[in-house]
Structure 1
Amino acid sequence: MDYLTQGIQYMQEQKYEEAAQAFTQAIEENPTEPLGYVNFGNLLLHMNDRERAERFFKKAIELNEDVATAHYGLGNVYYEQEKYDEAVEPFQKAIQKGLEESDAYYMLGLSLLYQEQFKFALAYLQRATELSPDDAEVHFQYGLCLAQVGMIDEAIQTFTKVLTLNDEHSDAHYNLGVSYLYKEDPELALKHFGLAIDIQPDHMLAANAKAKVEELLEQNQGE
């Protein structure tokens, strides 16, 4: 077993010191091979040593700028520091260099979403749902983005899909409630706010929305 494979196995077993030693040996044995730096960067990022992780990913890119996982790792360094504007370019490069995986599209989509660039985020999040059709959280973020660009019917369909994947997703119920308010259907909105609270009793947004809708319905009945 080579040092890289050994290091990855140690990481999976949460033996981080042993993983660091294996990756160090891999780099010493072949200092021009970028994957040693990429894997060490992933380990450092996992251990929240973002500054050193950034250096390792940049070193890997310096050795071979076509290594997609090095760009993806660098994007994660910036994303975890909430530097969403800086995260966009490396995530884009990871995809351009051939990382055709849901995570790459999802992280790029989120980086744009958190900068309120909803129309740009939409295509990447949609692609992420296509590559991860059974991932409730990916669909949920896509649903949020659809709602932000005013595609309420599509958002409702997506939040409903989230609940088929995870029927305990309180935020999906809450956002369905909000969506139905936009559709001027307070009864359905009330139902979903109630379900959100049933799942998560301390869901303050759902509780406040439910109280306001109940108050509104009482006023309408009194008129």
Structure 2
Amino acid sequence: MRITGILVLMLLTNFGFAQDKDKEKAQQVSLQKAKDYVYQGNELAEADNYIYAEKEYRKAISKAPSVVAGAYNLGNTYYEKGNYEEALYRHTQAAEQASSKSEKHKAYHNIGNILMKEELCKEAVEAYKNALRNDPSDDETRYNLAIAKECAAQQQQEKDKEEDKKDEDKEDEDKKEDKKEDEKKEDPKDQGDQDKKEGDDQKDDEGKPKDDKDQGKGDKKEDQKQKGEPKPKEGQLSPQQIKNLLEAMNNQEQKVQQKINAEKQKGAKVKPEKDW
């Protein structure tokens, strides 16, 4: 009876060991297939056949998600096609699955590049910092971090200006509303008396409207006053024309400066994507 129990225990132990061995063997097969899919995808990507390369990378991810190269290279494929949203998703997936510092560094570096393409400079700064935490010696990442910081600072300045303008507009609007409220508080009777007084001024002592001749005399005096003002000589600009010209030149100079700043920003490009 005791011998029988020992035999059963040995059989169960051998069965469990065989199951573990089969499971490990299946995992190794899956890993190898995933690596083969990645290799085939790389070959297709080098031939600019991104559609079929994408399929191979997807097969690799499905077969073994732990093979980081599948998600990473698929992200690079999307990046080359300009699909930055999907590229960001795949590189984030690669960063999460990565087990080594080298893999994490490459994934975060490319995440930073994608974010810069989307003009998300503040977020790109954090991505490059994560890349440097995993490989502080990479000069390319350090260079891209400097570009991202400069871009983020400029975006913050523009945001601050917009907020200041909104505050000024709101303040002007509040002043207008206060003015309207003050006008509403005025006594309607006083307003009526003022209208009546203005109507009486239009009549003479006998209650008749003033002669149009008097009105004409006023217009004539005004014309004479305007004629008495000095006119610019032929070939010369009036003070108002000079003022308008200076304002136009100032506006044009500001536009040129803004264009130069924009070109300088465009000229500072980040280093390219890192290959696997």
TM value normalised by structure 2? 0.41
Task: Please tell me the residue identity of whatever aligns with 2:130.
Answer: L
Question: How far 1:185 sits from its partner (Å)?
Answer: 1.0
Question: How far 1:104 sits from its partner (Å)?
Answer: 2.5
Structure 1: unaligned runs, 5 residues or longer: 1-99
For the pair shown, the structure with the greater C-alpha radius of gyration is 2
Mapped to 2, the partners of 1:110 and 1:141 lie a distance apart of: 8
Deviations 1:126-154 (A, max 9, x none): 11111111111222111111211222112
Question: How far 1:190 sits from its partner (Å)?
Answer: 0.7
After TM superposition, the structure 1 = structure 2 runs for residues 110-189 of structure 1, keeping only pairs within 5 Å, are 110-166=42-98, 168=101, 169-189=104-124
Q: What secondary structure does 1:101 align onto?
A: helix
Question: How far 1:106 sits from its partner (Å)?
Answer: 1.3
Mapped to 1, the partners of 2:33 and 2:157 lie a distance apart of: 55
Mapped to 2, the partners of 1:166 and 1:138 lie a distance apart of: 11
Q: Is residue 194 from structure 1 mapped to residue 126 from structure 2 by the alignment? A: no
Distance change in 2, residues 1:204/1:186 (3 Å): same
Question: How far 1:199 sits from its partner (Å)?
Answer: 0.9
Task: Please tell me the residue identity of whatever aligns with 2:112.
Answer: G
Task: Please name the residue that 1:218 is paired with.
Answer: 153
Q: Percent identity?
A: 19
Cα contact 1:177–1:190 (8 A) shared by 2: yes
Task: Please tell me the residue identity of whatever aligns with 2:114.
Answer: S
* Greater relative CO (CA pairs within 8 A, separation 6+): 2
Deviations 1:188-223 (A, max 9, x none): 111001111111012222111111121223344556
Cα contact 1:109–1:121 (8 A) shared by 2: yes
Cα-Cα RMSD: 2.0
Task: Please name the residue that 2:257 is paired with.
Answer: none
Mapped to 1, the partners of 2:156 and 2:36 lie a distance apart of: 50
TM value normalised by structure 1? 0.51
Mapped to 2, the partners of 1:222 and 1:185 lie a distance apart of: 15
